Structure 1
Amino acid sequence: MTTANKTCSLERRIYRFAVSVSGVIAVLIILWGCTANNFNAGAIAWKTYSNSRYGFEFPYPSNWISLAASENGDGIALISPQNKTVEIRGWASQQLPNSIVTNQESEKKLKPNFQTAQGVSGVLVVEVDRRLGSMTLTLTQSQVKYYWQGRSKSQEFQNYYRFFYYIAQEYRIPKS
């Protein structure tokens, strides 16, 4: 084996090791966030965002800053005043009739794994990569898809996991 081949082989092994370590770190962050005990909803002054177009609502800390509202009124984005990289978003969209079949087929892959305090079942997805951690809730009712998302830098995600989870649980949609 030539020196160049040995170098490439070593680089590939180092790369594979780095990728596997980052995957393990992401899983540990998620698991650590699941067991974090430092969130107390009662210690926060809450407001409720209510969307007039789609009728959904969710609580958010009263001191969080609203970003510019969307022109079509489909949702809102809020950021933490202490850390501008932490944000929560809520939005909804009307499904076009010809896309409903396609969406239903793709949703069969993601079975409901979450239930809101309102009793509505949906899909909650937690993703953490090297840069960003997010928790995204998707609820579907009739021809409307409702979304809520909390995001932070991946290394801070464990600190916000229970906070995001609480808001996702409190997300409400109109009764059908």
Structure 2
Amino acid sequence: MATANKTCSLGRIIYRFAASLSRVIALLIILWGCTANDFNAGAIAWKTYSNSRYGFEFPYPSNWTSLAVPTNDDGIAFISPQDNTVEIRGWASQYLPNDQETGKKLKSNFKTAQGVSGVMVVEVDQRVGSMTLTLTQSQVKYYWQGRSKSQEFPEYYRLFYYIAQQYRILKF
């Protein structure tokens, strides 16, 4: 009986490892086809969202619809006219330099066209794919995010990447 339990436990471990490995491989395959270099921004009519409270801005396609602006005016979200599950959002918040979060500081891996360095995290699971940019300047954390269904994420990756590159901090 003990041998059967060990075999089942080993089988579960192997299954979990294989499932995790298959997710990583799927993500790599998705991102392998996603390069931002051939994105044609000129083919899109753009508007610019500007946030006066925190002093940031980013472009968005002019035919996207904004969701209700929060009463604290910390940011905004836009949804695609083709699919309301596809969204881009930008927001900011004050932070204290000795926050616990600073202990988990990730190494910068992204630079905006303005020259501001930050952290870009791309996550794709079975349901949702997202690209999240975090920038920190003068006790303010700036965030930008693009999200879509995971199976559509490769279609939006170039758009999301372009917008993240164009994100600007006005008080820089």
Same fold (TM over 0.5): yes
- More displaced, 84-93 or 110-119? 110-119
Change (3 A) 1:36 1:144: closer
Q: How far apart are 1:47 and its partner, in Å?
A: 0.3
Contact 1:36 1:158 in 2 (8 A): no
The residue aligned with 2:126 is 130
Report sequence identity in percent. Answer: 65
1:161 aligns with 2:157: yes
- Among candidates 82, 88, 98, match of residue 101 of structure 1: 98
Change (3 A) 1:76 1:10: same
Question: What letter corresponds to residue 20 of structure 2 in structure 1?
Answer: V
The residue aligned with 1:54 is 54
Root-mean-square deviation (CA, aligned residues, Å) is 2.2
Scaled by the length of structure 1, what TM-score is found? 0.86
Distance in 1, Cα, partners of 2:26 & 2:36: 15
Q: How far apart are 1:35 and its partner, in Å?
A: 6.8
Q: How far apart are 1:16 and its partner, in Å?
A: 3.6
Q: How far apart are 1:27 and its partner, in Å?
A: 1.7
Q: Deviation per CA, 1:74-116, whole angstroms, max 9, x where unpaired?
A: 0000010101111000000011xxx422333322xx1111111
Distance in 2, Cα, partners of 1:171 & 1:74: 15
Change (3 A) 1:175 1:30: same
Scaled by the length of structure 2, what TM-score is found? 0.88
The residue aligned with 1:77 is 77
Contact 1:36 1:159 in 2 (8 A): no
